[in-house]
Amino acid sequence: MGRDESTVTNARSLAEHHITPQLGHLTVRELTADDCERWLEGRAEVLATKSLREVRSVLKRSIDRVMRRDERVTRNVVQLCEVPTGKRAGRPSKALDFAHAMQVLASAERAQSDIRQYVILALLTGARTEELRKLTWSHVVAYDKGRGQWRPVHEAGWVHEEFAVYVWRSVRARGDTKTKKSRRTLKLPRRCVVALRDLWASLPQPLDPEALLFPGEAGAVRGAMTVLRAFRREVMAPAGLDPDAWTPRELRHSFVSLLSDSGMPLDKIALLVGHSGTQVTEKVYRQQIRPVIQDGAQAMDLIFPNPN
């Protein structure tokens, strides 16, 4: 209930391919812990560890639902089974180094579609792809010195010194960001401002403030695969990098790594990327670290100065 459609689709697929064919001949009351262990060991030959955890979770939740309806089922035997190591490890995170990030940035700035702005924002703000795909123009704001307040660009215009984005939504269920800490406001580096100003100028005016920055067909949320294909075809291949080796989410990893290498402390980076603490930032996203103080947009302006 309330789960994202892609989550439901993935769970259904796991059940149809990895639960029903192997365990469907048993009733829940007949199922034993030994059955579950043999099943998990068999699936470990074809699934990665992450997928094994997911398929075990699907079976566990299914039995939990049966237990709520059938008093004769008194325990969930799946809880007695550990997840074995899968066939292969999950795809390791990686990040662009500075030289390759410059190649990607230059390639993005030559792109003829709005993948230009998408990649620039992803690399220089660290926003998640699910957040960028739900970003609306009403959440792009400028600081109006005369009024002393932040105002959406459709009201304030582009003749200002400071701009920011409200990263308050995502394509997840109910439109929420991944966690409460993920809901954040990010000042924009100058390259992002220039890119978004150009995108705004290319669109028919007046523009609906609630229109998406990166819409799909008929103004709907753009699909992740559509973004991936454009990213690889229009940015990574022209940049001279293997397009199949990179995905848009690694722009976020690169953001963390580049800030870390430039000297920003880990706790500040964690705030910028919307992590509740530094553990995920350190273990998953950071590729290297050297301790000095900087601010997000200021650091990116120093790393990637606007050529104009």
DSSP one-letter string for 130-152: HHHTT-BGGGEEEEETTTTEEEE
Catalytic annotation present for 275? yes
Q: Which position among 128, 169, 190, 253 bears the catalytic label?
A: 128
| Residue 170 and residue 139 in contact, taking contact as beta carbons nearer than 8 Å | no
Do 89 and 48 contact (CB within 8 A), yes or no? yes
Burial of 25 (0-12, 13-18, 19+ CB in 10 A): exposed
**Closest-CA residue to 95 (of 67, 123, 75, 59):** 123
Residue 110 C-alpha from the chain's centroid = 24
Q: Is 50 one of the catalytic residues?
A: no
Return d(Cα 250, Cα 236) in angstroms, integer.
Answer: 12
143 counts as catalytic = no
Residue at 1: amino acid letter: M
Give me the residue label for tokens 């995920």. 280
What H or E segment, with its residue span, contains residue 116?
A: helix 115-125
Dmax (CA) of the chain: 73
- Asked whether the beta carbons of 78 and 60 are under 8 A apart, the reply is yes
From 178, 181, 183, 268, active-site residue: 178
Helices and strands, number each (H, E), in the chain: 14, 4
Residue of 56, 134, 253, 285 with catalytic role: 285
Q: Which of 134, 172, 252, 253 is catalytic?
A: 252
118 is catalytic: no
Of 115, 114, 153, give the one whose Cα is nearest residue 137: 153
Q: Which residues are designated catalytic?
A: 128, 178, 252, 275, 285
